[in-house]
Structure formats: structure tokens, C-alpha cells
Structure 1
Amino acid sequence: MTSEPSWDFYRTLLAVLEHGSLSAAARDLGLTQPTVGRHIDALEQSVGAELFTRSQQGLLPTDAALVLKPYAETLASTAAALLRAATGSREKVSGTVRISASEVIGTEVLPPILAGLQAQYPELIVELSASDIVEDLLQREADIAVRMVAPAQEALLARHVGVISLGLFAHESYIERHGKPETIADLRRHKLIGFDRQTAYIRSMVKRYPMLDGISFSFRSDHSIVLHNALRSGIGISFYQIPLAKRDANLQRLLPEVEVTIDTWIVMHENLKTSPRCRVTFDALVTGLLDYAKGNDTPEGQ
């Protein structure tokens, strides 16, 4: 490397990697296409390697670009964390806090909790990443995370808020058409909804209930929300969080002896424990998810 590249060049690199063209990256960044091109040219000169090759499909990244990608992503995460820290004040609860949670928890459970939090602290800005991809708190990709596994890193503060129970459910329209299974073995003649790949949950269920091994799914997806909407549409039988099922009178519990539990943790980097915005958010998540895990969740619309 002949010189120190500007941090803006790495941001531009990520945009071109994502969009595959200079014009699309320029629109995303709010820059002109020639400016994006100059950024890439300058970065190539700094690292001494070509970063993209042209093809009919657009700009294809070279090995050098792929090597730089994770470092550029780390810079982007750090810059975002720096901005969140700069927006906060030590005297009051204000500024931005970024929360990471699974699709289901992020879309179904957290919004009412966060609504109450922001009503109490109107200057608090919340960024919620609802994804089953675990974001790295040590790299400051998020400030606080709701996780279903115990954290292993020592630099993280963690609070175990209990377990969330899942049971088998079906919409009443499905039961009207196909009836109820009376035993686990009966599930083989029913339409089941599930993930299109092996997950820790599936392996846990098969280990606990060996009869489930080999049962095929008639509807599969790799998105939790898609699976939940399939259940609500009457497509078939699926595992569903019991506290969530209480919100929908059309869902009926099946085979109550079959139950799976998942641990739930609230996790935060220890360096943020003195941050007012992170501390109140952490406490609100703990309180809200404790109630949810105990079945005291507030139904939607109330």
C-alpha cells in the first residue's frame, strides 16, 4: 500500500460491491458517478491492485476487493457506532441506540416495548435490526442484542430473561379441513410448516421427540415471518411461540405434550453500561421480555 486511503473510499467500495455498478452506487451514496469512479481508482492506486473487472453482468469484484470487504464492513460499523455515541449526552437520555434481534422477536415482540420506551424518552432514537443473522456487539454492529444463546465473549454484559416456550399450533380453518392430530405419529398425515434447512431448533426437537425425525414439510421457507404467516393462513401445522399464539384466537394448540423452549438473553457491550440511552433501553428490554416469557405479553391493539 503506497498511501493511506480516505475512509470514504471504503464506503464507496462497499456500495459498488453491493450494487455492482458505479451508477447504482452513486445513487445510493448521493454522489455523482464520476466521483464514485474516482474513489475506486484512488483506492486501487493505494492498494496497488485492480478491484473490479467489467462484464455483461456489471462490475465483478476481484480477489483483492473481496479481501478488503470485511475490513471495509468493520470500518462502516465503527463509523456508525461512533455517530451513535456522538449523538448521545451523558446528562440525559437522547441519541441513537441500535438493537439487534431475531426476525420474530424484532417484528412481533419488541415494537410495543420500544413504543413505551420512546414515549418515556422522546429524544431517544431506536434503530432495530430484525434478522436471524447474529450481529457482532464487539465490532459494534449493534449496541444491544436479544439473543437465543448465551453469549461467550467476556466483554459483554448479559441478562438471562428466562425461556420462551413453543408449541404446535394450527389455524382453525386448517383444523376444519383436516382435523386434529391425536398423537405425534399422526403428524405424518398432516401438512407441516417448517424451515428449508436444518436449524438448532429442529435438531433440538428431533432429539427430544425422535418420532419427528423424517417427517417432511409441505411448506418450507428460510424466513420466520413467512412461516408464521403461512400458519395464520391455514396452510398447515407449525411450531409457534406460545405467548404470540395468545394474541390470535384463531390459532389452536395441538398436542400440548409437545413443547420446545428457547433461552433468551439481553446482551450489551460493557463499555456502554454508563450510557444513559443504552442503560434505559437495556432495562426496558429486560422488563418487557421477562413479562413476555412469563406469558404476560400485552396483546396487539391494547
Structure 2
Amino acid sequence: MDWDKLRIFHAVASAGSLTHAGDSLHLSQSAVSRQIRALEESLNTTLFHRHARGLILTEQGELLYDATSGMSKRLEAASARIRDSEEEVFGELRVTTAHGFGSLWLAPRLEHLYGKYPDLNIDLMLEERVLDLPMREADVAIRMKEPSQADLIRKRLMTVRMRLYASQTYVDNHGVPETPDEMANHRLICQGASSTQVAAGAAMVQWLLGHGITSRLNVNNYFGVLQCVQNHLGVGVLPNYIVESAPNLVRVLPEVESAEVPVFLAYPEELRQSKRIAAFRDFIVEEIQASRRRSEGDED
């Protein structure tokens, strides 16, 4: 197949319009239309349904678009790798992580990264869904579970535990439970069973519910749980990394916590030499080490 025709087909399929695709390719609508017609003739099939509202892919068109999408992402990866071998640390870096970790731990620290590399452009994608790194849906991921995808470089960063926290105002008004059974007199704030959450956190919630808790507030991510706790609605199940960003919280039942949850950084093998990836990885490691030093200092 003609690579140029495939490139034009991909642009049309992405835009859903000959005109919009022509604008992005700097070609006339008629030139784009001729290329699509020639590609359809070479494949002996129809790739688009023509409608007044635009173009819709046929079943055969969907198959070809899947293939060109994969090609496009691979070419982007190759281009990024070539640039990274020659450039300083600047340009786009697409980072994906969960809502809680991204908003409560990572985002408040990004000023340190920009302080070193002001020309870096971070595209922070907070997703509970695991993005496909080999297919370049993102460049680097931080996850509360070791990635299972092939062709990834993995680095274990730290461990997290789920613990119980309440606001100072809440404990002043309602008291502090001294035993798990006394949690029956308090509202438990946690992620719901239908939410994407780490297994250790889910197991901890189920254990607490076995102690007669009747009032419960379910939220679908830890950022939401934190907002409810800070607004004095009850006792929340939260990851221990939130303590630095929310020093006003009081730990409840300190003997109750989840099993350790590993936190991994991962990126595609083909980006091993990327200066942007290396800069981000080193930044994360430095921030974790600094956090540990602060924690040890507080304990002293």
C-alpha cells in the first residue's frame, strides 16, 4: 500500500471530514478525496460511509484505522527517541497515574521539576484505567501495582499503606474511636466496592465493615475521600502519602492499617535513552527520598 495514501486516510478518519483533514495536511479537499478514492480502489473496498454530517468509517475502514493508528504511535515513539538522543530536556512528556496519587502527591511537587526544566511540557493524565504504554497512550506511568504489559522498564519506587484519618474538628466534636468496634459509632468514608482501588484498601474496608459500621459514605477516588474527611464528615480510609499535603488530619486507630502496596514507575523499553524520562524518573526518586527524610525528622 502507498504510505502517503495511508497517511491521508488516517488524517481523514481522525478528523471525520475531508475538509478538516485537508486543512491539517495543507491539501485541497479535492486532492484528499482523490487519494481516498484511489486507496479504496486499490483495496477494492469502501472505507467511509458518506453522510451530510461527515464521514463514518465502514467495518473495513475501522480495521485499516486500527492499523494506521498503531503505525502512527510507533512513528511518534521513534521520532521521540531520535529527538531525545540529540536534545536537552524539553518538549512534551505524557505522564499517567491514578487520580489520588496524581492530585495529592505528584501535582504539588511538580514545581520542583519545572524549576530544573522550565521548558518541559507535562501532560498529566489522571486515569484509573491503565493506559497502554507500548502503544504510546502515555510515555511514563506511576501505578499502585506492577505493570503486566510486555516491553516495559519497571522501577519500584516505594510502598504505601491505607490508614484511618479524621479532621481535628471531627474528633473534637465526636471523639476518637479507641477500638475497631467503636468505629460503629462513626461514619466510614471510603472508596466504594465498584471503584477501581488497590486490593489492600478494599480488604481493609471489608474488615472494618465487619465491626458493625452502619453509616458509610462511598466516593470513587481518594481525592474525593480526602475532601469529605477535611469537611468533618467522618473517618476516612486514605493512603499514608496524603499526610504531607494534609497536615491537619489526625490518625485514628494507629494499629489499623492495610498491607503494603507497592508503587511502580514504568515506561516503554524504546524510551530507555529518553532524557525527558530520565529527568522525570530522577525527580520522582529525589522527591521520595526528601519525603522520607522529612518523615524521619518528624519522628525524631
Equivalent position to 1:142, from 138, 161, 173? 138
Residue identity matched to 2:167: H
Q: Distance in 2 between matches of 1:216 and 1:50?
A: 57
After superposition, residues 123-134 of structure 1 pair within 5 angstroms as: 123-134=119-130
SS class of match (1:125): strand
Cα contact 1:192–1:218 (8 A) shared by 2: yes
Range moving further from structure 2, 265-274 or 69-78: 69-78
Q: Is the alpha carbon distance of 1:3 and 1:220 closer, same or farther for their aligned partners in structure 2, counting shifts above 3 Å? A: same
Q: Which residue of 2 aligns with 1:109?
A: 105
1:281 aligned to 2:277?
no
Q: Is the alpha carbon distance of 1:65 and 1:259 closer, same or farther for their aligned partners in structure 2, counting shifts above 3 Å? A: farther
Q: Distance in 2 between matches of 1:86 and 1:138?
A: 17
Residue identity matched to 2:238: Y
Q: Distance in 1 between matches of 2:281 and 2:74?
A: 21
Q: Distance in 1 between matches of 2:158 and 2:275?
A: 25
Q: Distance in 1 between matches of 2:87 and 2:133?
A: 24
Residue identity matched to 1:175: V
Identity fraction in percent = 23
Q: Distance in 2 between matches of 1:295 and 1:62?
A: 58
Q: Which residue of 1 aligns with 2:298?
A: none
SS class of match (1:142): coil
Q: Which residue of 1 aligns with 2:176?
A: 180
Please, what TM-score do these two structures have when normalized by structure 2? 0.72
Alignment deviations for residues 47-102 of structure 1 (CA, whole Å, 9 cap, x no partner): 84686798xxx999876677677656645644654564465452522322221111
Shift of 1:291: 3.7
Counting matched residue pairs gives 285
Q: Distance in 2 between matches of 1:168 and 1:178?
A: 15
Equivalent position to 2:116, from 120, 125, 129? 120
Q: Is the alpha carbon distance of 1:114 and 1:209 closer, same or farther for their aligned partners in structure 2, counting shifts above 3 Å? A: closer
Q: Is the alpha carbon distance of 1:119 and 1:95 closer, same or farther for their aligned partners in structure 2, counting shifts above 3 Å? A: same
1:232 aligned to 2:263?
no
Residue identity matched to 2:189: I
Q: Distance in 2 between matches of 1:216 and 1:73?
A: 50
Q: Distance in 1 between matches of 2:171 and 2:49?
A: 55
After superposition, residues 188-207 of structure 1 pair within 5 angstroms as: 188-198=184-194, 201=197, 203-205=199-201, 207=203
Cα contact 1:184–1:211 (8 A) shared by 2: no
SS class of match (1:170): strand
Residue identity matched to 2:240: I
Shift of 1:223: 3.1
Q: Distance in 2 between matches of 1:276 and 1:245?
A: 32
Q: Distance in 2 between matches of 1:166 and 1:105?
A: 13
Equivalent position to 2:156, from 157, 160, 184? 160
SS class of match (1:296): helix
Q: Which residue of 1 aligns with 2:221?
A: 223
Q: Is the alpha carbon distance of 1:98 and 1:200 closer, same or farther for their aligned partners in structure 2, counting shifts above 3 Å? A: closer
Shift of 1:239: 1.4
Cα contact 1:159–1:286 (8 A) shared by 2: no
Residue identity matched to 1:157: I
Q: Distance in 1 between matches of 2:50 and 2:173?
A: 56
SS class of match (1:230): helix
Please, what TM-score do these two structures have when normalized by structure 1? 0.72
Q: Distance in 2 between matches of 1:162 and 1:283?
A: 14
1:264 aligned to 2:263?
yes
Unpaired stretches in structure 1, ≥5 consecutive residues: 17-21, 298-302
SS class of match (1:247): coil
Cα contact 2:200–2:261 (8 A) shared by 1: no
SS class of match (1:266): strand
Residue identity matched to 2:177: P
Residue identity matched to 2:248: N
Range moving further from structure 2, 87-96 or 275-284: 87-96
Cα contact 1:93–1:124 (8 A) shared by 2: yes
Shift of 1:256: 0.5
Q: Distance in 1 between matches of 2:269 and 2:47?
A: 40
Q: Which residue of 1 aligns with 2:93?
A: 97
Q: Is the alpha carbon distance of 1:7 and 1:290 closer, same or farther for their aligned partners in structure 2, counting shifts above 3 Å? A: farther
Larger Rg: 2
Q: Which residue of 2 aligns with 1:243?
A: 241
Cα contact 1:169–1:239 (8 A) shared by 2: yes
